[in-house]
Structure 1
Amino acid sequence: MWPDRRILDLLGLELPIFQAPMAGPVDSEMVIAVSEAGGLGGLPCALMTPEKARTELGIIRQRTSKPINVNFFCHKQPEDDLAREAAWKQRLAPYYLELGLDPTAPAPRSARAPFDETFCDIVEEFRPEVASFHFGLPDAALLDRVKATGAKVLSSATTADEAVWLEARGCDAIIAQGAEAGGHRGIFLTDDVANQPGTFALVPQVVDAVKLPVIATGGISDARGIVAAFALGASAVQVGTAYLFCPEAKVAAPHKAALKAAKDDHTALTNLFTGRPARGIVNRIMREVGPLSEDAPAFPLAGGALAPLRAASEPKGSGDFMSLWSGQAARLGRDMPAADLTRALAAETQALLSRFGRQPMA
């Protein structure tokens, strides 16, 4: 019994709780747990090779028949800018020297791959119930192939204009991503993040702008946030940071410690780690270089030069040079298995709806 059953009926779900497909911390283990609990588990493929994605999906399909979401990035690979990359390495050179590294050594390349023919083949092979995208949508030919599998297509909108753009190009539902959200902004119609709306300003405007079901995300970590999202017209919520506290999350020790200590004012948008704005807990490199730097190469190339710094410092327990992705509500996180968290969020939301005198409609 929920206020708006459109997304549940569209996707065949029991609970309107989506687990955000967070690249790095999430693999098949969490996806299975959330989907088996009645929510929508989301497998992030942005950091996976096609071989790894195929392996993970094989495990998922063996262990659950419930609906799943497979997520991809839709960025265009930038042209190499050797001068900018050299300037970025020069900006980071003092940190290399401090850690005993050679600042002139070649930097590794970022592994973030956009959705392409190979990943589309995988969607056709495994036929996930949901295919979701970040940074817009793939080109029309690839999108048609995805839809031909029967997958429902979702994508992130950070403004009402982006939501309208996505609806016009065939999305089945819209993920309204407020500025509070951890990780990469899904922004794609502009590069300006200075005027990005927060979740509870964005959601009702997206609801009014499109006819599709809307999934609210950004700073939603407990039943209070879910009830608020429903009151603003959302059909479901996508929860990210709260799932990072689950034992299924593959979170490095410094990141986990930072999450446990985080407060509401401990995060900022930064482009240092990838070249695109993403929200993370402020650490040394963000404080000293500034969270947003014009020196950082275009997405996803900025991360290569930081990789050796992370590799040298993380084994010592340092999070100084790693991306500590987090939304603004990390303080609301709870240590519990992903399936238990999914069910708890749903039950607590139902209890709160009843307490507020809002009787859910059938």
Structure 2
Amino acid sequence: MSSPASAPDWARTPVVLAPMAGGPSTVALAAAVAEAGGFPFLAGAYLTPERLRADVEGLRSRTSTAFGVNVFAPSPDEPAMLAAAESYAALLAPWAAAAGVQLGAPRYDDDAFAAKVDLLAELAPAVVSFAFGWPPARAVDRLQRAGVQVWVTVNEPAEAEWARELGVDGLVAQGWEAGGHRGGPVDTGAEQLPVRELVRALREQTSLPVIAAGGLMTGSEAAELLTLGACAAAFGTAFLSCPEAGTADVHRHALAHRQGTVVTRAFTGRSARALHNAWTDGYGSRAPAAYPHVHHVTAPLRAHGKALGEADLVHLWAGTGHGRTRGLPAGDLCRTLLGELAEAARRAGT
């Protein structure tokens, strides 16, 4: 199955704005990308259903073009996770106390998953993508019956077969270079394939269309992935420095002034790529695989760090290409990426 799949009807552009939950994704950012010729995703994770409705309706008021919404599928809740998160909280407690912060209580929640599926079946964006796990088959069926394409995030080539059996419409191939959380269904903590190798492997295994993601900063880098069989390329970190993004000031500064990233469970209990700071270096190796339990433990400390601009107390999500962010308005950046893609295609004679 080495030939690329046909792009879906909504994919009239090879530039996709990746969802960036927790603040950076905004309606203004998505609207600017849509109006400049890209395909934006809104991030639905961590939002209440009411806020997600407002974002979807707000984006529709600003653009008539298609867009997607990303949500987190429920993570497993295993008994050992609570105990592991409690132990990690005890480890962090003196550090948090020194900052004048009381840590949160570890707990499980599913991020209002059922309510968000209900909402998205009603509002019917062009695409709903899932990260952190597989959505139940009934959720996939319900969205598809509402005219919504369902995509899932994969980090391993073998996951393509699971996706095919689930009946989804496409795959987001997240390479090891990507910033933020690992989005696939299995979080082993082990190093995974870079995006180019992942796309190649998926094209050998499945006919499902693939969006490639992972450390991409230029249109020429995206063009290479299209020649490997991807139907589009997703950019996340590249847009973090845009004025329309909701990126915290401390995060913006760190993207330009800090060097090096690491994949760590330090902040949420799930593997994610972030810039090195005192938290990742001091506690990352001792953080358990316990999401969302650890996420709730550390949320007050991270909010405190963001409010005060303390970079060592913040999850500074970033892909490996973070040093090449351009700080352009989102529309200008999208048009630049599209221009670079077109120029790469012209040079290749395609």
| TM-score, shorter chain, exceeding 0.5 | yes
SS of 2:177 mapped into structure 1: coil
Does 312-321 or 52-61 show the bigger shift? 312-321
SS of 2:188 mapped into structure 1: coil
Q: What corresponds to 2:116 in structure 1?
A: 119
**TM-score (norm: length of structure 2):** 0.92
Q: What corresponds to 1:139 in structure 2?
A: 136
Cα separation, 1, equivalents of 2:57 and 2:319: 30
1:315 matches 2:307:
yes
Instruction: Kindly provide the amino acid, as one letter, of the partner of residue 23 in structure 1.
Output: A
Instruction: Kindly provide the amino acid, as one letter, of the partner of residue 70 in structure 1.
Output: V
CA contact (8 A) 1:181 1:326 kept: yes
SS of 1:302 mapped into structure 2: helix
Q: What corresponds to 1:324 in structure 2?
A: 316
Per the TM alignment, residue 251 of structure 1 is displaced from its structure 2 partner at its CA by 0.9
SS of 2:173 mapped into structure 1: strand
Q: What corresponds to 2:42 in structure 1?
A: 43
Q: Deviations over 1:235-266 (max 9, x none)?
A: 11011100101111111111111111244xx1
Instruction: Kindly provide the amino acid, as one letter, of the partner of residue 93 in structure 2.
Output: A
Per the TM alignment, residue 140 of structure 1 is displaced from its structure 2 partner at its CA by 1.0
Cα separation, 2, equivalents of 1:234 and 1:13: 11
Cα separation, 2, equivalents of 1:262 and 1:333: 13
Instruction: Give ranges in structure 2 of 5+ residues lacking alignment.
Output: none
CA separation of 1:278 and 1:135: change in aligned 2, threshold 3 A: same
CA contact (8 A) 1:11 1:130 kept: no
Cα separation, 1, equivalents of 2:101 and 2:191: 39
Cα separation, 1, equivalents of 2:192 and 2:4: 27
Per the TM alignment, residue 186 of structure 1 is displaced from its structure 2 partner at its CA by 1.7
Cα separation, 2, equivalents of 1:195 and 1:84: 22
Cα separation, 1, equivalents of 2:171 and 2:305: 39
Cα separation, 2, equivalents of 1:53 and 1:309: 25
Q: Percent identity?
A: 36
CA contact (8 A) 2:153 2:183 kept: yes
CA contact (8 A) 1:13 1:38 kept: no
Instruction: Kindly provide the amino acid, as one letter, of the partner of residue 142 in structure 1.
Output: A
SS of 1:6 mapped into structure 2: coil
Correspondent of 1:344 among 336, 340, 344 = 336
Q: What corresponds to 2:177 in structure 1?
A: 180
CA separation of 1:168 and 1:251: change in aligned 2, threshold 3 A: same
Cα separation, 2, equivalents of 1:68 and 1:60: 9
1:155 matches 2:147:
no
How do 1:2-13 and structure 2 match up within 5 A? 6-7=6-7, 10-13=8-11
SS of 1:15 mapped into structure 2: coil
How do 1:1-362 and structure 2 match up within 5 A? 6-7=6-7, 10-24=8-22, 25-76=24-75, 78=77, 82-101=82-101, 107=105, 113=111, 115-116=113-114, 118-188=115-185, 190-263=186-259, 266-289=260-283, 291-293=284-286, 295-296=287-288, 298-355=290-347, 358-360=348-350
Q: Deviations over 1:81-123 (max 9, x none)?
A: 55333322210122123223456xx53868771632x112211
Cα separation, 1, equivalents of 2:118 and 2:296: 28
Cα separation, 1, equivalents of 2:108 and 2:267: 10
Q: Deviations over 1:57-96 (max 9, x none)?
A: 1111222121110111112352565533332221012212
**TM-score (norm: length of structure 1):** 0.89
SS of 1:63 mapped into structure 2: coil
Cα separation, 1, equivalents of 2:59 and 2:211: 23
Cα separation, 2, equivalents of 1:228 and 1:153: 25
Cα separation, 2, equivalents of 1:40 and 1:16: 8
Instruction: Kindly provide the amino acid, as one letter, of the partner of residue 286 in structure 1.
Output: T
Does 244-253 or 71-80 show the bigger shift? 71-80
Cα separation, 2, equivalents of 1:77 and 1:114: 15
Instruction: Kindly provide the amino acid, as one letter, of the partner of residue 331 in structure 1.
Output: G
How many residues are paired up? 346
C-alpha RMSD of the superposition: 2.2
SS of 1:245 mapped into structure 2: coil
Per the TM alignment, residue 46 of structure 1 is displaced from its structure 2 partner at its CA by 0.9
